[in-house]
């Protein structure tokens, strides 16, 4: 019996529908679904864009079928020449109406243009046939989809006709059978030159789907997954990222989600946290938390010179450190003049000289060839002893006052792959000191091994490159963004204060960091911030409106040249790790 049945049912029988109905001229019914669509009968005369872009990105259920028929060049030129001659006579005939004369003139000019392109520019002439079909479970849904598709086609400059009484032939032409039905092709035929064919390219996707990427979310335009591998240096210029958004827009949640997913992949991550937003996540992931503040026993000495502080091929440990210390002191004393900076540079050289450290790099190594340890470095007390009374009162808090924990020797290490620099206890006025110290500390660690992927996160980065900072510090942060790529790293700038980001040196540092970030994520922003961003990015008018209307957890994502609106997707177990108990 089994062999008998196998002999009756072929593969064609298995894939065939159980029934097809042609009773209604408005649609074709098959296996409980209703099918209908359009013949595209005309296009814009000139189009520099992909004409099916809006349709394919619309997330509608469509079947798009295109046929191209190459025409014989010699025959076409011969027919065009004959047509041009006849039309020329018709135009000269004054007995024709004005409307007929204008139509004839258009036809005459088009024919001359096509002949010229074929004869001089070696263009070929094709006939193009375009069909669009959709399907639904009921008439109401089908009518809605047809109206939507017709609107999209019209907005893209295409004229279409509904395939009433012809849905059977439309269906056959939309199947992957290379069968262009004769009963509809005459209605859909239009001519097109070779140079115009690229505008009809249908394989369009504004989605980002990197093979080794992590999930960012779903593309709200076409519901596709957005998977990003920002470390793919063959595809992206760098792996730097800017994350901007108003409070409550989902900016910090996305950052935490990214930290979590990269932690699961084993990447090294270093976070500078001024608002104590990431403590819960880092604790749940088993990371290290280094706190700078009056209640902490963690210390980092800003005077440390670490072996990794020089990049490969560089020399001059002390020269490099002097520049960083001048920047730090300028944070402490914003009114430093150039004369004051020269004075401090002289005193800094003297401080290191008292510890046996000079401009000779060999002075940083002990007799056993080991690099000097943190206890062999100077600190604020050493500087305080030799500076003039004019500056002692300004340095005093760092030596004997409320900030004396900055005067301790470094006692922390970075053995963990996930490290959080917590500066929350420093208070609003002093956050920038801790952020700068962690930036310097993390940067030296990042440069140790080029083959290890790593990231450094600058939350509220405006504190280091805005008006409350100075050019020395801002230049150092910009250097990280500019050069971290060659160390296998990624810099992430996070802020909600866009205006402050561009408040130093006419906004040059903010612009430089944005321009050196291949990935830009804009969550919901106020109109003022959108206006500021539009001056330094290629935001379109439509995108400005979209940013303002984004819901929580949605963002406009710039990845290279791709601009997509993304809804951040998160699993329940990820929420448990990310969200603070009090926020649930």
Three-state DSSP state, 271: strand
pLDDT for res 42: 92
Residue at token pair 């490099």:
320
The CATH topology of domain 305-409 is Helicase, Ruva Protein; domain 3 (1.10.8)
- Does the model's pTM come out above 0.75? no
Distance CA 240, CA 488 (A): 11
Three-state DSSP state, 436: helix
∠ at Cα 253 (249, 254), nearest 5°? 90
Residue at token pair 């971290």:
484
Half-sphere exposure of 175 (CA within 13 A, CB side): 11
Consecutive 10-residue runs of the chain (584 residues): their mean pLDDT? 60 83 94 95 81 80 93 90 77 60 72 87 93 95 94 91 94 92 92 90 73 89 86 92 94 96 95 94 94 93 91 85 94 92 95 95 93 94 92 92 93 91 94 95 91 95 92 94 94 92 91 94 93 87 88 92 89 86 43
Residue at token pair 């500076």:
387
Distance CA 166, CA 182 (A): 11
Quick: pLDDT tens for 51-66. 888 887 776 889 999 9
Three-state DSSP state, 274: coil
- Residue 437 CA, chain-centre distance (Å), reads 29
∠ at Cα 496 (495, 499), nearest 5°? 95
Return the closest-CA partner of residue 283 out of 259, 299, 300: 259
CB 34 within 8 A of CB 135: yes
Report DSSP letters for 111-142, one per residue. HHHHHHHHHHS---EEEEEEEEEEEESSHHHH
* CA distances to 13, 326, 511, 536 from 532, in Å: 63, 31, 11, 7
* CA distances to 66, 117, 202, 430 from 123, in Å: 20, 6, 21, 68
Residue 216 makes CB contacts below 8 A (sequence gap 6+) with 208, 226, 227, 228, 254, 258, 557, 566, 568, 569
pLDDT for res 79: 86
């Amino acid at each position: 019996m089994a062999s008998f049945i196998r002999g009756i049912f072929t593969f064609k029988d298995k894939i065939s529908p159980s029934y097809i109905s042609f009773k209604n001229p408005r649609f074709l019914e098959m296996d409980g679904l209703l099918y209908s669509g359009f013949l595209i009968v005309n296009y814009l005369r000139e189009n520099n864009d992909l004409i099916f872009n809006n349709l394919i990105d619309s997330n509608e259920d469509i079947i798009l079928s295109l046929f191209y028929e190459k025409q014989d060049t010699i025959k076409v030129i011969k027919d065009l020449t004959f047509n041009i001659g006849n039309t020329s006579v018709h135009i000269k005939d004054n007995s024709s109406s004005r409307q007929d004369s204008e139509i004839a003139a258009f036809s005459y000019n088009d024919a001359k243009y096509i002949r010229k392109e074929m004869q001089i520019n070696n263009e070929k002439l094709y006939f193009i046939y375009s069909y669009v079909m959709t399907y639904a479970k009921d008439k109401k849904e089908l009518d809605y989809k047809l109206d939507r598709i017709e609107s999209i086609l019209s907005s893209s400059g295409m004229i279409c006709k509904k395939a009433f009484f012809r849905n059977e032939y439309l269906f056959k032409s939309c199947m992957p059978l290379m069968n262009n039905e004769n009963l509809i092709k005459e209605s859909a035929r239009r001519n097109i030159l070779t140079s115009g064919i690229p505008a009809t390219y249908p394989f369009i996707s504004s989605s980002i789907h990197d093979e080794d990427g992590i999930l960012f979310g779903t593309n709200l335009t076409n519901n596709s997954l957005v998977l990003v591998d920002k470390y793919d240096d063959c595809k992206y210029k760098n792996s730097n990222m800017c994350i901007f958004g108003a409070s409550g827009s989902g900016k910090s949640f996305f950052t935490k989600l990214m930290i979590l997913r990269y932690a699961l992949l084993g990447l090294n991550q270093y976070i500078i946290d001024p608002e104590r937003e990431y403590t819960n996540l880092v604790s749940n992931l088993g990371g290290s938390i280094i706190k700078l503040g009056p209640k902490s026993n963690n210390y980092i000495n800003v005077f440390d010179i670490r072996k990794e502080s020089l990049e490969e091929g560089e020399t001059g440990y002390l020269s490099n450190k002097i520049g960083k210390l001048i920047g730090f002191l300028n944070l402490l004393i914003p009114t430093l003049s150039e004369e004051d900076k020269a004075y401090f540079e002289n005193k800094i050289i003297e401080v290191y000289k008292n510890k046996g450290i000079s401009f000779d790099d060999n002075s940083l190594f002990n007799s056993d060839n080991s690099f000097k340890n943190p206890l062999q470095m100077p600190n604020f007390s050493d500087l305080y002893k030799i500076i003039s009374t004019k500056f002692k009162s300004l340095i005093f808090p760092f030596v004997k006052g409320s900030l004396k924990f900055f005067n301790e020797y470094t006692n922390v290490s970075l053995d963990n792959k996930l490290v959080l620099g917590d500066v929350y206890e420093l208070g609003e006025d002093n956050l920038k000191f801790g952020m700068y110290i962690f930036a310097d500390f993390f940067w030296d660690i990042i440069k140790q091994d080029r083959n290890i992927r790593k990231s450094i996160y600058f939350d509220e980065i405006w504190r280091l490159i805005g008006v409350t900072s100075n050019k020395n510090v801002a230049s150092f942060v910009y250097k990280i963004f500019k050069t971290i790529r060659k160390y296998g790293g990624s810099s992430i700038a996070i802020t909600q204060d866009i205006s402050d980001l561009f408040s130093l040196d006419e906004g040059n540092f903010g612009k430089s960091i944005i321009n050196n970030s291949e990935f830009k994520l804009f969550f919901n922003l106020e109109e003022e911030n959108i206006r500021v961003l539009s001056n330094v990015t290629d935001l379109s008018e439509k995108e400005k409106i979209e940013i303002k209307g984004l819901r929580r957890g949605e963002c406009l994502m710039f990845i290279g040249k791709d601009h997509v609106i993304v809804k951040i997707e998160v699993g329940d177990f990820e929420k448990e790790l990310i969200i603070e108990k009090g926020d649930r």
